[in-house]
Chains A and B, each alone.
Chain A
């Protein structure tokens, strides 16, 4: 080893190396910053896409109605709000923010008039409609072990053929992945793409639903009890969000009327109020006061008893994913999606119009009825068209989301602009 005081020229970094090192450092800095920016973009702007696996439903009845048999059980409810001037019945009943739903204890006196006054409406168009068939290429097609038409199936759908119009559509179904990864469920997050991830750890069982208010038999149902009321039936519905996008969703469930009939609504009952679970520990979005919690929704009793109004427990033949409102949600296909309240823990029959969350949050923008209507714009945006997920461009929105034949009579004589 030479101990020369001078640095031998051989140890001086060659000029080329010096600049190489500089270039190397800069290259590293560039790569590092690009990587950081890219990572930040990915973290802050995820398009969603959780893989979601839920248990398959047993005894699923296909939507074609081919197993439909058996008599229609007569509703033991009394006199739903009259078809005709039903709108006037709601006149002046403004939803009161902060009014707890189900404030009134069920009156004990049996006011039941057991006569099912209203025969189920049979719109002429519906009668002649042949039940559409499930597209042959549906990958989630339920096994069609179609029993002989006369085979008595204990679990046959309750609705007569005429009422089954609208239970299915041949429109292209939105893929499961997109349904489960794109929706509004503010109880978890206000980002539609992040709901699935935020709801991943939610445990929807055990679960029970309190059904009370103006009913003869108020009671708390265990989830399994409700699910046993009828076999889940596939219903392929269009879903139109108030934000201007839409899907086609193969739900599974049964008409809400089946549950309501169990508790025997009293004659005074005119509305049905619904409530979502309120548990900020399990639903972290409820720690943020974006809306008043718990989320509440409501329907007029005749809307609630309409055969299309679905108590859904499944999707694509499987149990509902957490992001879609497990374990039990409402689906009202002719109304904007926010009426379809999720993760229901309470159903209360009331005499007065119950408060509904979006109406409380912005009364001028979201009405109690929230019927899909291309003529009545949201104050800030148009409702004339919609973005059907999976399509380019927009399609025209249809009155009552295409279910006018089935539900228009519920609003006969009503000014739909006023009762938006």
Chain B
């Protein structure tokens, strides 16, 4: 097989994409392009790339300015596959590269397999309601992938390979400021246990009951989109769903969340899902491992009693 490229938002994600490339084809040579400096490029080699390019975030321009150089190189090198982080910058790069190469691109492709020149895989449609299985035969096929789609191999510092960089296009849009987010005290992406709240909570103050339960079982608190985006009762980083966080905790305890496809998509990889909803018809029940039909005002105290007693 011809080379597989990985283009990544950061080194940990590059390691995941490299593991993906090795899963798809063990023999292919992997060329990595990583946002960062020389040490990130060397890190990609330690994780299994044969050679690597570092693409530092320009201080005064957008990172997507590497697209023309990447496209020129892709046209010359003709990689069979280009795997990219499904991050904002890399998704933009993926689509621009795909257009410049007149190539197909799987967005958040799952189960990617290659047979001869034909690449197949799944993408989700209608907010996670269904998976579309599609195939494409092309010189180069692009795929964006999630940050946890594959288990990265541990780094082998003894590996070596050539490291280089690429030029930024001259007419790249200017960046006048970067304002980091205020530091978040929670990282629901890493939490093993999550208690999540939805519109079944009619008042912001009521969320405190969910927090009490979360503390009792050592969980973080997340929410559905309306709680963060419309009511702004919780920070945006806390909402789970197709346009929010996609997480895979050991336990996802959904309280007062109806269970729309867009929300379920964010927890489809959770090990165990528990739903609590007073509506017996709530979609979440049929998509849970265990469910209790009941009002959280009764269920949360009962759970606390069961934990403590």
**A and B found bound together:** no
- Name A's B-contacting residues (CB within 8 A): none
